[in-house]
Each structure stands twice: as structure tokens, then as C-alpha cells.
Amino acid sequence: MLSKKWALLLAAVIVTSLILAACAPATPQVVEKVVKETVVVEKEKTVAVEKEVVVTPTPKPEEELITLNWNFGTEPPTLDPALAEDTTSVDVIESLFLGLTAFDPEGNVKGELATEWTTNEAGDVYTFKMRQDAKWVKYNPGTKQVEEIGPVTAHDVVYGIKRTLDPRTASGYAYVLYIIKGGEALNTADTEALSEEELQALIDGVGVKAVDDYTVEITLEHPAGYFPGIAGMWVARPMPKDAIEAHGERWIEPGFIVTNGPYMLAEWVHDSHLVLLKNPLYYDAANVQIEKIYGVMVVEASTAMAMYENNELDTTAPPLEDMDRIKADPVLSKELHIGPYPCTYYYGFTTDKPPVDNKLVRRALSAAIDRKSLIENVLKGGQLPANTFTTIGMFGSAAQDPDIAPWALDYTLGLQKAKEWMAEAGYPDGKGFPEIILMHNTSEGHKKIAEAIAAMWKEALGISVKIENQEWKVYLNTISKKTPVEQMPHVWRLGWCADYPDANNWLNEVFHPDKRNDIRWNNREFAEIVEKAEVSQDPAERKALYKRAEQILVDEEAAIAPIYYYTTVNLTKPWLQRNYFGLGGQDFFNWKIDWAAKKAALGK
């Protein structure tokens, strides 16, 4: 019965698409509506009736589509929102799956699937009202058609969150959702020891429920003002239950994947490229201008740079070795854009290892880093010198506040202070100071910074520094709390990037003595401040608390030496209008291309 309908439908589609191709209208056309009976035989034995729409998304010939040539930089390890842990995957997921909330290009939380949200008085129950025009779609690469699967509902949100938290899913980022009531209990459950019923009880116990088809209620373990930001994270997104259950691990391959975002996955040649096509059924499709994204996976920065210059990419992050040439080039210099990126580069001290167990030594080392010179001469990417850990743009950031470590921003002052402190610590001009080990993970960029800073220390303080590097995973293990102190390097590098734009994600999650705390630091005053700030509902009070915490961390105790706030350095062709904000993936759907200009440049 079904196949006959399909045959009819196909015929209709082919005929229509031929006609459509002939008159080539700019907007996608809905071809036919069919009512299909889908019998879902589940435990509840319900019979769902769905509306189905099949659409030819792109009546234009392929080469006429407004196309963005993008470099993902690497193969995305997954496109499954529950499993993604890295920026490349998130960049793609951002185009494929909608969240309850999203960040706008300025970094503010706004509604995406959620039209509005409210909290209860205590601040621990959030109710999200969802829009009703978001749809699940499936792109068929064989027929090049789009199939509408059904509306995106509150049940999909509930399924998505519970799927991420289910220990059998083994999601690396599941812990982000531990703030949801019962989330941690479910995710840490020992599935082998539990019966089916007990596990189900834990799943049911997660504080997320569909009040009706378009209203989600999420109960938290404790009040958290930053929760709307988390509610939009990829691990909390609605996920397509039927597709996941039908195809298992392979559900994210083209032809299987069911998505609801502004783009659909049309092609994925692993390690080579993937193609995203505009979703004609996306509720805001009228405002999505770019119709096709051809995303390559070029790892080598110099190759990507050559592709950009050859008009094979519309935008790229240039290697720093080419920065001087770009700045001097009349064309490239106009195409250069430097913007903030929510990460901080820092050196951590092993605070229980002599001689850096002495806070005077740590302060001296931090102050003797000429951050401005490092940025101008080595990094060349317009980075900003850092005097705090929490970067610019985060709630509670005190970046560039002169009350905190002013010597980090002014090297003349820093040099003078550094010498004083070293002398005070008993090592005037570095006399009697043992050789210290500065370690970085193997990478050309980190090596350059380490060599530059080691030379600064040698010059300013008269101390000798041995630079070592280790392969990434070895390195992360070395600098962890487990390593015996005698095997620790004295100083080591790390970076930290925002998961959500709040100082809690920085100061509390990284340096609280009971949390990661690679610096082996046990400052109770700091701990109390960040604990208090986490639960406080008063924005002014939270800001003040975080400022005080930074003062202790960076200035008074100098447990870390923040070095610079990252920037995103990009070259963009004049025909592309894009955003550069780095939180939560690339927003291709907001970008615009002057197609006539691009075609002219390509010589077509």
C-alpha cells in the first residue's frame, strides 16, 4: 500500500521538479502533501498519524546555489549532539540541530526553540514555552528531496536530555547536565548492577518533563541563574528518537539523519568534506541566505591559506607566520579581521613544589612576562594581555581591571616589581635560584611562546629555565593532581575556553580546590568566594565576588600567570559577511554572500 503511494509521489515529484527547474523560482516549493499512516508499535501500542511533506529543496541547478566554501579544519568526530565534545562537531551540529536557547552574535542568551521561559520563585524550576513551527526533516541524498518527519515537540527535548544522561549513551559532556535534578544519579548509575526497572526509575526521576506538547519543565538540583545558557547546549537539544533507534550508531550518516536546524546534511565524505544544504522547511528559512555549505577538512594551516588565496575558501584562519605578509599586503590586510574569542591562555604553577611554592617567586615570574611584546612580536594576532583568568565578555569577568595585577598590563612596573619580589624571596638577580622546568604540550605555537617567555625570565630575573614538551595525552596526565610532586614541572601551560559565558565556568570549575585544580592549590578563602558566587542571585554581588576571587588567584597568590585572551584571527573575502563570535559553534545561517561578486571573482 505504501509503496504504491510512494511511486505516485515520486512521479509527481519528478514531473513537478522538471517544471520547477524550468521556471526556477527562488523559493523552495512544497510539492505535495500526503497523509501517511505510521504505525508505531511500541510498548504503549499507540498509533500515530503524521502529516508528511516532501519538498525539492533546491530547484536551481547545483552550481547556481549560493555556496559558502568553508574549512572545518578537521573531520568532525561525531554529529550526534549527545556525544559531541569538540568545536568542529559543534560547528556542524549548530547548523543541524536547534536548541531551546542560543547565543546571539553578541554572546547573549536568546530563545531559539523556546519563545519564552520563566522560573519559579526559588529559581530552581524553569519552564520553557516552545515554538510550534519547528519541524524534523530528512534529506534523501539519492532523490535529493526533503521529507518532513513531524513537529519538534517538548517530548523530543525530554528524550534528548535523558538520552545524554543515560549512562549507556556514554556521553562525555553529560556532566554539564548534572545540574538537572536526578541527572547525576542517572548518569553515575552502575547499569550492570541495576535491573531494568531500577534503571527506568532513575530515567523517570530526571527533572525534565513535557507539560504539554510544546512546554518543557526542567527542575534543577539548585538555583542557577546561568541555566538558560546551558539549556541551549548541544547535549540538551531535542533529538530524533525514531531515527536513532532505527539506525543505531549510524544515524548521523546522510540519508539516515533527521534534523531540525537551518541546514541539512547532504553529503559526508569522511576526512574529506561534508556538504550542508539549506533546509527549506526551517521556520526562518526566508532569512537564511546561504543555500549550500561546502565544508572541507584541511588540517594544514598553510594549505588552507593557499586555498583562500586561490579563492577555494571564502574565509580562513591564517597561520601566524603569514601575519606580517597579510598586514603588509594591500588586499589581504583589508580582509583581515581580529575579534575576541572566549578563551584564556595561561601558565599554571605547581604551587606545592619549591621554589614556586613561594608566592613571591610566582608573582615575580608572572610579572616578568612582557605580555605586550609577546603579542606584538610572537603571536601577532591582536591578542589582549591578560590580568585575569576569566576572559572578556564572560559574566563576572574583571578583565583589564587595574585593581587586579596591574603589573601584568604594564611591563615597566612588572619588571621592577618582579626584581623586588625575587630579591624579597631570597634570590636577588636569580642568585641561588634552582633551574625550573617549563613544560608545554607538543605544538609549534606553544613552543614559540615557551621559548619567548623562558628567554624573558632569563633576561629579567637571571634564572635558568629548562623547556620540555610532552605529547598531549601524556602531558595532560603529567600535570594532573595524581602525579607525584617530584615529577611535576614547575610551570606548565594550559588554555581554558568558555562552555557558557559565566565566571563560574572559569574560576569555580577550574580552580576550586575540590575540583580540577591542577595547580594543587588549597586556598579556602577563594573556595568560599566562588561557592558563594555560584548560588547568589544578585548580579552585582556575584560580580564583586568574582573580582575578589581573581585578585586572590592572579595577584595576591599568583597561583597562575594568565598570559593573553585569545582572539579569532580570520581572513574573509569581501563578498562574505560573517560573524566571528566563538561560543556555541558557527552561525552559518546568519551569514550572507554577495553571490554575483563571488561568481565574478571565480571567473564564472
Q: Which is nearer to another protein, 344 or 551 (by Cβ)? A: 344
SS3 category, 404: coil
Q: Is 406 exposed, middle or buried (0-12, 13-18, 19+ CB in 10 A)?
A: middle
497 grid coordinates: 575556553
Contacting another protein (CB under 8 A), which of 62, 133, 212, 324? 324
- Asked if 522 interacts with another protein (CB under 8 A), we say no
Which residues, including other chains, have CB under 8 Å from residue 519's CB and lie 6 or more apart?
348, 349, 350, 351, 511, 559, 560
Q: Give the nearest distance from C-beta 39 to another protein in angstroms.
A: 28
What residues from 420 to 449 belong to the interface with another protein (CB under 8 A)? 437, 442-444, 447-448
Stretch that binds another protein, among 155-163, 236-244, 265-273, 540-548 (CB under 8 A): 265-273
Distance CA 496, CA 561 (A): 13
* Residue 359 near residue 558 (C-beta atoms within 8 A): yes
- Asked if 604 interacts with another protein (CB under 8 A), we say no
Q: Give the nearest distance from C-beta 59 to another protein in angstroms.
A: 25
Contacting another protein (CB under 8 A), which of 300, 403, 528, 538? 300
- Sheet with 273-278, strands from edge to edge, namely 67-71, 292-296, 273-278, 263-269
The interface mask with another protein, positions 224-253, x = CB under 8 A, is: -------------------------xxxxx
Q: Which is nearer to another protein, 253 or 420 (by Cβ)? A: 253
SS3 category, 561: strand
Q: Which is nearer to another protein, 302 or 577 (by Cβ)? A: 302
Q: Give the nearest distance from C-beta 495 to another protein in angstroms.
A: 6
What residues from 149 to 168 belong to the interface with another protein (CB under 8 A)? 167-168
Q: Give the nearest distance from C-beta 336 to another protein in angstroms.
A: 14
Residue written as grid cell 544544504: 277
- Asked if 203 interacts with another protein (CB under 8 A), we say no
- Asked if 211 interacts with another protein (CB under 8 A), we say no
Cα atoms found within 13 Å of the Cα of residue 323, Cβ hemisphere only = 17
Stretch that binds another protein, among 54-62, 355-363, 491-499, 536-544 (CB under 8 A): 491-499
CA angle 108, 67, 9 (to 5 degrees): 100
- Asked if 122 interacts with another protein (CB under 8 A), we say no
Contacting another protein (CB under 8 A), which of 75, 217, 221, 556? 75
Q: Which backbone phi and psi does 122 adopt, to 5 degrees?
A: -70, -20
Q: Give the nearest distance from C-beta 540 to another protein in angstroms.
A: 30
Q: Which is nearer to another protein, 4 or 168 (by Cβ)? A: 168
SS3 category, 429: helix
Q: What is the total count of residues that contact another protein (CB under 8 A)?
A: 88
Cα–Cα nearest to 221, from 176, 174, 183: 183
Q: Give the nearest distance from C-beta 124 to another protein in angstroms.
A: 22
Q: Which is nearer to another protein, 23 or 193 (by Cβ)? A: 193
Distance CA 63, CA 436 (A): 59
Distance CA 233, CA 287 (A): 23
Q: Give the nearest distance from C-beta 293 to another protein in angstroms.
A: 16
Distance CA 137, CA 408 (A): 52
- Asked if 269 interacts with another protein (CB under 8 A), we say yes
Q: Give the nearest distance from C-beta 252 to another protein in angstroms.
A: 5
Q: What is the CA radius of gyration of the chain?
A: 27
Q: Give the nearest distance from C-beta 587 to another protein in angstroms.
A: 21
Q: Is 212 exposed, middle or buried (0-12, 13-18, 19+ CB in 10 A)?
A: exposed
391 grid coordinates: 576572559
- Beta strands 491-497 and 315-316 are unpaired
Q: Which is nearer to another protein, 87 or 140 (by Cβ)? A: 87
The interface mask with another protein, positions 161-200, x = CB under 8 A, is: ------xxxxxxxxx--------x--xx--xx--------
- Asked if 590 interacts with another protein (CB under 8 A), we say no
Contacting another protein (CB under 8 A), which of 42, 63, 121, 271? 271
59 preceded by a cis bond (ω within 30 of 0) = no
Distance CA 89, CA 91 (A): 5
Task: Rounding to the nearest 10 degrees, give the CA dihedral for residues 434, 438, 439, 443.
Answer: -150
Angle, in degrees to the nearest 10, between helices 411-424 and 359-367: 150
Stretch that binds another protein, among 13-21, 106-114, 287-295, 487-495 (CB under 8 A): 487-495
Name beta bridge partners: 572.
Answer: 315
Contacting another protein (CB under 8 A), which of 264, 450, 549, 560? 450
- Asked if 78 interacts with another protein (CB under 8 A), we say yes
Cα–Cα nearest to 175, from 233, 129, 125, 126: 233
Stretch that binds another protein, among 154-162, 226-234, 305-313, 355-363 (CB under 8 A): 305-313
Q: Which is nearer to another protein, 119 or 478 (by Cβ)? A: 478
Stretch that binds another protein, among 133-141, 213-221, 300-308, 412-420 (CB under 8 A): 300-308
Name beta bridge partners: 316.
Answer: 571
- Asked if 63 interacts with another protein (CB under 8 A), we say no
What residues from 340 to 379 belong to the interface with another protein (CB under 8 A)? 370, 373-374, 377-378
